[in-house]
Amino acid sequence: MSSSPPLPTPTPPIREEIALQRATVARLKKDILGIDRNARRRYIREFHEEFSHLEGPSSFDDLVVACFKADLVYIGDYHALPSSQEFAARLLREIADRASEVVLCLEMVYTRSQKVLDRFMTGEIGEEEFLKGIRYDLDWGYDWKSFRRLFDVARERGIAVFGVDCEPRSGLRYIGKRDMHAAARIAEIVQQRPRAKIVVLIGESHLARNHLPRKVTDNLKRRALERRGVIVLQNLEEIYWQLAERGQQQADVVTLGPDRFCVFNTSPIAKYEAYRQTLEAWQGDPEDQGDVDLSSTVYSMIDTILRFLRVDKYTHVVKRSGRPGDFLIDIYPEVYSGLDDKELRHLLQAHEFSAEEVEEIADHVANRGSCYVPRMNAIFIGRLNLVHAGEEAAHFVNLALKGEVYDDAPREMPQHDLFYNGVLEEALGFFGSKLIDPGRNHFFETAFYQYYRKDRETIERETAYTYEDFNAIIHFILLHKKFEQNYGTYEDVPPEILAGIRSEPRRANILIHELGYFLGQQLHDAYRAGVIDRRDIARLFRDSFRESGSALKTYLDLTERVRPALQEGSTPQPSPGDGGSEAP
């Protein structure tokens, strides 16, 4: 009888990283408990105790097959997390593509509002009247844009939608009553539509065995009906830690038992941060809920990065040229959120940024969601993405530790020095974001990796580049990686690389970004493998690379040093034939 292979023992850096994340999550949960006491209730504890054991790996395809075989699909929703509804919409679409009839049951709509819901789904009333009719802001209050996509999918696929909740929602005192109501409504729909596949989107804690699923089963039995169900949960914290300890936190789907799955699309930090922001918005002025102050969110990420670097924000002095030093805590950046594009541009112009600089910053905020501007020591957030905001937090930490916050003008340096300084700053920004979400992987994000060797039509349809530009950028990256692996054999830097370094600003910024993210991924893999340690990373955050050639030397030394970790990490390596003299 064969035995399962032993689970891998996490390396000390992995344990250190997990401890850092756990501490950050614990602080977030403490903040939440100060506002929402329900998290301690027995109903919530029962859910977490039941779904606390990881069975094994799975896949999205396996999940779709399981949903296809089931009659009832329960999807656990974390209401404050947009990626939760995004996944639910994706799975709903996959189910609808494989079933002749699908019904969607939603907790967010009261059963009493069914007529309003029906009128909205048929197009008789518009979105504004629908939201007013179901008292969305008063009775639900979560981000409508996130939930709207469910209705969009339902319309596209001809899916009937039903509200299955009832009052009162406040607190957990009447949660059992609400489960009974929802169960009776779902059983009624099953009886009325015997051939339909029923998809239920409801808060995750409702899905413990003795909560809603048992009550649905009992209601069906009373009607002499029986249906097979599958439970799909998302981003369970305890399962995430188990995966992290195995070095498998990039897993998309795992099983928790027969017909029980857990899907991951964000980290525990992002999950609880989203809820904390929602609670803060609810506590604030209703007139200002569209403009949530995200300072505490950004400062929490800065604190996480500083804890990793072992920097005390209360005692560390930031020295700046020509003026006395400041304690780090006293120069935390101003955080601007809720500005529209016009307001952002006006503010930048008031600070005497050039037209080109204004355009670059506004474009960065529009495309990436956030941007750190050292001259103002400010982080602008258009739409919050914790991963990208984590990058900007890391950029602040990097420049603060180098004493370059509030620098009024760009350094007077040769182009190659500016280029590799930029690459190193991008690498550290990416590394910092990995402390917020270790499951992030640049090679699942970048169009250059996803569409490498695709045809012209695909590249120009799916990316922002022409076929020629796309391949020229790919060619530079591959040639540069080949150069890194053998730079000791080169007498001079290849002219094609020099041409890329000296290219016009937009192209140069793309190359800086790609090489920096590639290196950031390598640094994180090497750190987890124990090839480099926390002190090495801290030193990189502090070094200014003011001496000409020092940034390139550091870059090449790092790529050589992290190479042993590539076999174990998530960074793909160029194949021997890549990066030749001819463009792909």
Q: How far apart are CA 438 and CA 266, in angstroms?
A: 10
Are 22 and 265 in contact by the 8 Å Cβ rule? The answer is no
CA-closest candidate to residue 380, choices 338, 437, 332: 338
Task: Indicate where the chain has its CATH 3.40.50.11550 domain(s).
Answer: 12-283
CA-closest candidate to residue 446, choices 466, 407, 473: 473
Q: How far apart are CA 165 and CA 111, in angstroms?
A: 6
pLDDT value, residue 577: 46
CA-closest candidate to residue 359, choices 341, 381, 339, 336: 341
pLDDT value, residue 277: 83
Least confident of 52-66, 123-137, 316-330, 379-393: 316-330
Residue 32 pLDDT more than 90? no
List the structure tokens of 476. 């530079």
**Chain length of the chain:** 584
What is the β-pairing status of strands 253-257 and 56-57?
Answer: antiparallel
Q: How far apart are CA 544 and CA 417, in angstroms?
A: 11
CA-closest candidate to residue 433, choices 422, 445, 441: 441
Widest pairwise Cα distance in the chain: 83
For all residues of the chain together, what is the average pLDDT? Answer: 88
- Between 159 and 386, residue with greater pLDDT: 159
pLDDT per residue over 119-166, tens digit each?
999 999 999 999 999 999 999 999 999 999 999 999 999 999 999 999
CATH node for 12-283: 3.40.50.11550
pLDDT value, residue 1: 42
What is the rounded end-to-end Cα distance, in angstroms, of the chain? 51
pTM of the model: 0.83
pLDDT per residue over 494-533, tens digit each?
899 999 999 998 889 989 999 999 999 999 999 988 899 9
Are 579 and 482 in contact by the 8 Å Cβ rule? The answer is yes
Cα torsion 463, 468, 474, 476: sign: negative
pLDDT per residue over 440-470, tens digit each?
877 766 777 778 888 899 988 888 888 888 8
Q: How far apart are CA 482 and CA 368, in angstroms?
A: 29
Residue 249 pLDDT more than 90? no
Are 316 and 327 in contact by the 8 Å Cβ rule? The answer is yes
Burial category of 457 from C-beta neighbours within 10 Å (exposed 0-12, middle 13-18, buried 19 and up): exposed
List the structure tokens of 204. 């995750």
Q: How far apart are CA 407 and CA 412, in angstroms?
A: 12
Which residues are within 8 A (CB) of 188 and not within 5 positions of it... i.e. 6 or more apart? none
List the structure tokens of 257. 């038992």
Neighbours of 18 (CB within 10 A): 17
CA-closest candidate to residue 250, choices 525, 526, 542: 525
Per-residue pLDDT band at 95 (split at 50, 70, 90): very high
Strand runs (DSSP E) across 296-381, as ranges? 317-320, 323-327, 334-337, 370-373, 378-381
Number of helical (H) and strand (E) elements in the chain, helices listed first: 25, 13
Bridge-partner residues for 161, per DSSP? 104
Q: Could you identify the residue written with the tokens 């950029």?
A: 395
List the structure tokens of 400. 């603060």
Which residues are within 8 A (CB) of 166 and not within 5 positions of it... i.e. 6 or more apart? 110, 111, 112, 177, 178, 181, 182
Q: How far apart are CA 278 and CA 284, in angstroms?
A: 10
Q: How far apart are CA 195 and CA 544, in angstroms?
A: 67
Residue 319 pLDDT more than 90? no
Task: Please name the residue ranges forming H helices in 310-414.
Answer: 341-350, 355-368, 386-402
Share of the chain above pLDDT 90, in %: 62
Which residues are within 8 A (CB) of 409 and not within 5 positions of it... i.e. 6 or more apart? none
Asked if omega into 168 is within 30° of 0 (cis), the reply is: yes
Residue 105 pLDDT more than 60? yes
Angle 126-132-138 (CA atoms, 0-180°, nearest 5)? 145
Which residues are within 8 A (CB) of 272 and not within 5 positions of it... i.e. 6 or more apart? 25, 28, 29, 32
